[in-house]
Chain A
Amino acid sequence: AQTVTQSQPEMSVQEAETVTLSCTYDTSENNYYLFWYKQPPSRQMILVIRQEAYKQQNATENRFSVNFQKAAKSFSLKISDSQLGDTAMYFCALKGGSQGNLIFGKGTKLSVKP
């Protein structure tokens, strides 16, 4: 079975500061994908960043970057220069195997304070 674990139910950060959200996962697949999704109060799921497991280089998207540690099955998200608009629920997700669905962690509620 594939699992995704987010151990931080809530986090807060000051505007312009940096915050790291943790995620660990488990899968027996060799080829898989990892994602971070943001869910603001509107509840629309928004892709933040993706990582292909076969790529060693950590993915980066502007202020968002990941620390992908494949051996440790860890996939943390770093948000630099936090902005008020980053306030949202953040879900770590795993896609592996032939099915196209995602397995989600329980989420981390991030609050960016002015």
Chain B
Amino acid sequence: GAVVSQHPSWVICKSGTSVKIECRSLDFQATTMFWYRQFPKQSLMLMATSNEGSKATYEQGVEKDKFLINHASLTLSTLTVTSAHPEDSSFYICSKTSGILLGNEQFFGPGTRLTVL
């Protein structure tokens, strides 16, 4: 069964509004979770690393004030797209890693399709 869930699975919003995406670890706790963005017909690009109890680490070129990440508990990380614009329309995927003892497999959520009008 799924070990990572995301909500919502899709969202349509108006330009200028904010959208929150939730990523939950359903089995074991995850002190670190990752947020990726995937544009149509492209690959997954890491946006940021979400760390429980501390600030997220953002990749170069990703605006931290626009993509707010909160990892307030060991099972929940949220990504808020603030003042969304049409160019933010994309597929957002979160993931967590199983760690070395379990083969370093990365478990992905089902993704959230964001469309900004």
Contact = CB atoms under 8 A, between A and B. Distances in A.
B56 interface: no
Contacts of B42: 106-107
Q: How large is the interface on B (under 10, 10 to 19, 20 to 34, 35 or more residues)?
A: 20 to 34
A45 interface: yes
A11 to B, nearest CB: 15
Given A50-B104, A100-B32, A106-B42, A44 B110 contact: yes
Contact of A104 (B44, B49, B97, B111): B44
Q: Chain A, interface size: which category?
A: 20 to 34
Contacts of A107: 42-43
Contacts of B93: 43, 45
Contacts of B63: none
Contacts, number: 52
Interface in B52-107: 91, 93, 95, 97, 103-106
A42 B110 CA distance: 8
Interface string A97-111: 001111111110000
Contact of B106 (A35, A42, A44): A35
A36 interface: no
Nearest to B108: A45
Interface of B: 32, 34, 38, 42-46, 49, 91, 93, 95, 97, 103-106, 108, 110-111
